[in-house]
Chain A
Amino acid sequence: MSADLAARAGTALPAADRRRARPGLALTVLAALVVVAAAAFLTVGATGSWSFVLPFRATKLAGLAVVGTAVAVATVLFQTVTANRILTPSLLGMDAMFTLVQTVLVFVLGGAALAALPATGMFLGQVVVMVGCAVVLFGWLFGGQRRSLHLLLLVGVVLGTLLRSASGMLQRIMDPNEFAVLTNRLFASFNAIDDTLLGITAALVAAGCAFAWHRRHVLDVLALGRECATGLGVPYRRAVLEVLVVVAVLVSASTALVGPVTFLGLLVANVAYVVLGTHQHRWVLPGAALVSTLFLVAGQVVLEHALGFDTSLGVVIELVGGVLFLVLLVRGAAR
Chain B
Amino acid sequence: MIEVRGVTKRYGATTVVDDVSLDVPDGGLVALIGPNGAGKSTLLSIMSRLLPADAGTVLVDGMDVTTTRSDVLARRLAILRQDAHVGSRLTVRDLVTFGRYPHSKGRYTVEDRAHVERALDFLDLQPFADRFLDELSGGQRQRAFVAMVLCQDTDHVLLDEPLNNLDLRHAVGMMRLLRRATDELGKTVVVVLHDINVASCWSDRIVAMKDGRVAHDGPPAEVVRPEVLSDVYDLDVAVHELDGQLIGTYYR
| A residues in contact (CB < 8 Å) with B | 1, 5-6, 8-10, 14-16, 18-19, 83, 216-218, 220-221, 223-225, 227-228, 230-236, 279
Contacts and interface: CB of A to CB of B under 8 A. Distances in A.
Given A6-B110, A220-B106, A234 B130 contact: no
A236 B114 CA distance: 28
Contacts of B71: 233-235
Given A232-B74, A235-B70, A225 B90 contact: no
A49 B140 CA distance: 67
Q: Find the residue from B81, B88, B90 having the highest chain A CB count within 10 A.
A: B88
Contacts of B152: 232
Interface in B45-89: 48-50, 69-75, 78-79, 81, 84-89
Contact of B87 (A14, A223, A231): A223
Interface residues of B, number: 40
A279 B78 contact: no
B91 interface: yes
Given A5-B118, A217-B101, A232-B74, 9 more contacts: A9-B114, A9-B117, A15-B93, A16-B91, A16-B130, A223-B86, A231-B74, A233-B71, A233-B101
Given A5-B114, A14-B93, A230-B49, A225 B102 contact: no
Contacts of A230: 49-50, 70
A224 B84 CA distance: 10
A8 B88 contact: no
Contacts of A231: 48, 50, 74, 78-79, 81
A15 B117 CA distance: 11
Contacts of B69: 233, 235
A216 to B, nearest CB: 7
Nearest to A282: B106
B169 interface: no
A232 B101 contact: yes
A14 B184 CA distance: 30
A98 B75 CA distance: 42
B162 to A, nearest CB: 14
Q: Find the residue from A10, A16, A19, A83 having the highest chain B CB count within 10 A.
A: A16
Contacts of B102: 232-233
A9 B113 contact: yes
A9 B114 CA distance: 6
B87 A225 contact: yes
Contacts of A236: 70
Contacts of A19: 91, 130
